[in-house]
Amino acid sequence: MKNILLAVSGGIAAYKAIDLTSKLTQSGYEVRVMLTEHAQEFVTPLAFQAISRNPVYTSTFVEENPAEIQHIALGDWADAVIIVPATANILGKLANGIADDMITSTLLATTAPKFAAPAMNVHMYENPRVQHNMKVLAQDGYRFAEPGEGFLACGYVAKGRMMEPLDIMAFVEREMNEVKDLDQSTQSQWYQDKNILVTAGPTVEVIDPVRYVSNRASGKMGYAIADALQKRGANVTLVSGPTYLTPPENVEFVPVTSAEDMFNAVTERYEAQDMVFKSAAVSDYKTSEQLEHKMKKQNGDLSITFTRTQDILKYLGDHKAHQKLIGFAAETQDVEKYAKDKLDRKNADVIIANNVGDTSIGFNSDDNEVTLFFKDDEAVSIEKGKKQQLAERILDELERRWK
C-alpha cells in the first residue's frame, strides 16, 4: 500500500486531516487530497498542497490533466481512500449512491478499500438514520475508525470525537493487512460444500406475556462466522435467537426463541452437519411455569422457581460422530480454567473463549478478542479486532489445524 487518497469533508475536525496528511507523508506514503466545498470553510487547499506536494482536488469539473477523467483516474490510483472527517452528510450521500461532487463521484468509482473516520455531535452519531447509513456502508465494505469520547465542538463531552491521526494511520495499516490475509485465506477451498451449522444470539425464557429472562448476547460473533463461512463456499445453517441483525445472504436462516426451540432446531439438523459452531448464549435455566396472564404486583418479595434447560453443547458432544464441534465460552473471570473445563465436559473439539467482563469486547461490542483452546492443550490467542475479522482468523486457524 503506497497511494493514499484523503477525502476531507466539511466538519470542524477537518483540521486533523492536515496532521494526518503530514504523518502519512512522513511515513513514506504518496498522499493526494480531495476537499468538499464545505471542507474549504474550515481548511484551505493550499495547506494540503504544501504538505503533500501534490495537487488538491476540489471540483469534478476541473480536470488537472485533460488526457484523463480525474475522479476515475484518482480512484484507480488509490490503494486506499480515507474519509476524514466523515460527517453525517457525506455518509448519507454515500449510503444512498449520490455522486454530486468530487469526493462522492470518486468514491463511487473506486474499487480501492474505503475507510471512514466519523466525527459529529453525539446525538447525530447515535441518530438511527446515521447508524443505518453506516451499516449500509459497512455491508458495502467500508471500514470505520470509530470516534472516541471527549470534548466536542458543540460543548458536549461524549462520543463523536474523531480518532486521532496517528491512530487512524495505525487502524488503516492494520485493516489493510487483514485484507491481505483475507485475500490469501479465501483462496482455499477447504470449507467449500461443507454442511456447517452456526448458532447465534440469546435465547428468551418466558415468565408471563410481559416478562422474560434472557441475556445480553447480540449475535454479532455468530452472524460474522456464518457470513464468513458462506463466503468460503460452505452450506450454512444459522440458528438464531432474537436479535436486531440482518441474516447474511446465502444461508438457511432458522429463527428460534427459547432454549428448547434452539435445542430442537439444532438436533434435528445435527446428523447432516460436518461442523457446528455453537456461539449462541443459551439460557441455562427456564421458569418452571409460564403464566398465561400477566403476573400482578404483590406486597413483599417475589420468588420464581427455575429449572435447568437442556445443555445443547453437551448433547452434541455426547452424540458426536463425524462432526467437528466448536463451542464458545463467555466468561468474566478465570477464562482459561473455565474454557478448559468446558472443553472436557462437553466433549468439544475446541472452545473459543473471551472475557465479556471487558466492555470493549463484551456483549454488543463490534470488537472481540478470543483464545482458542484445543484438546491437546494448545491455546491460540487472536488479538482484538472487529468481529468480522476475528471470524476470518478463526476459520483460518481451524483450517490450518484440521486440513
**CATH classification at residue 397:** 3.40.50.10300
Residue 153, pLDDT above cutoff 80: no
- The catalytic residue among 154, 210, 272, 295 is 154
| 147 prior amide bond cis, ω within 30 | no
Please state the separation of Cα 178 from the chain's center in Å: 13
pLDDT for 179: 55
Strand partners, 33: 6, 56
Give the position of cell 493526494.
32
Using CA atoms, how far apart are residues 337 and 320, in angstroms rounded to an integer?
24
Q: 194 a known binding residue?
A: no
Q: How many angstroms from the chain centroid is the CA of residue 167? A: 18
- Is there a single domain that holds both residue 303 and residue 204? yes
Higher pLDDT, 231 or 70: 231
Query: Are 165 and 222 within one domain?
Result: no
Across 75-86, average pLDDT: 92
pLDDT at 45: 95
Over residues 224-243, the mean pLDDT reads 94
Exposed e or buried b per residue across 290-302, where buried means at least 16 C-beta atoms within 10 angstroms of its C-beta: eeeeeeeeeeeee
β-bridge pairing 195-200 and 235-240: parallel
- Are residues 133 and 224 both part of a single domain? no
Do residues 172 and 83 make contact, with C-beta atoms less than 8 angstroms apart? no
Give the whole-angstrom CA distance, residue 385 versus residue 394: 12
Residues 6 or more apart whose Cβ sits within 8 Å of residue 10: 36, 37, 38, 39, 41, 42, 87, 89
User: 120-133, pLDDT tens digit by residue?
Assistant: 988 888 899 999 99
Q: What is the mean pLDDT of residues 33-47?
A: 94
Is the model's pLDDT at 181 over the cut of 60? Answer: no
In the 8-state DSSP scheme, what is residue 163? P
Q: Domain check: are 200 and 127 in the same one?
A: no
What's the confidence (pLDDT) of residue 28?
85
Q: Is 294 annotated as a binding residue?
A: yes
- Domain of 97, in residue numbers: 3-153+161-184
Looking at residue 63, what is its pLDDT? 74
| Residues in a beta bridge with 81 | 5, 114
The answer to whether residues 105 and 196 belong to one domain is no
**Per-residue confidence (pLDDT) for residue 185, from 0 to 100:** 47
Band (186; pLDDT cuts 50, 70, 90):
very low
Nearest to 79 by CA among 2, 23, 24, 17: 2
Alpha helices in 243-299 (DSSP H): 259-269
Residue 346 labeled ligand binder: yes
| Same-domain status, 113 and 193 | no
Is there a single domain that holds both residue 237 and residue 117?
Answer: no
Q: What average pLDDT does the segment 339-364 reach?
A: 86
φ, ψ for residue 213, nearest 5 deg: -115, 130
Contact 399, 234 (CB under 8 A): no
- Clarify whether residues 177 and 225 are in a common domain: no
**pLDDT class of 397 with cuts at 50, 70, 90:** very high
Pick from 5, 8, 127: which is nearest to 54 by CA? 5
Residues 91 and 199 in one domain: no
For residues 378-396, average pLDDT? 87
Does pLDDT of 364 surpass 70? yes
Lowest mean pLDDT among 115-124, 148-157, 170-179, 303-312: 148-157
Q: What CATH number did the domain enclosing 56 receive? A: 3.40.50.1950
Which cell goes with 343?
472443553
Question: In terms of domains, do 196 and 236 share one?
Answer: yes
Considering the domain architecture, whether residues 173 and 199 belong to the same structural domain is answered as no
Our count of domains for the chain comes to 2
User: Residue 186: how many CB atoms within 10 A of its CB?
Assistant: 16
333 φ, ψ (degrees, to nearest 5):
-160, 160
Contact of 316 with 292, CB cutoff 8 Å: no
Same domain, 131 and 248: no
Q: Residue for cell digits 456461539?
A: 279
Average pLDDT over residues 342-366: 85
Give 368 or 188, the one with higher predicted confidence. Answer: 368
- State yes or no: is 154 an active-site residue: yes
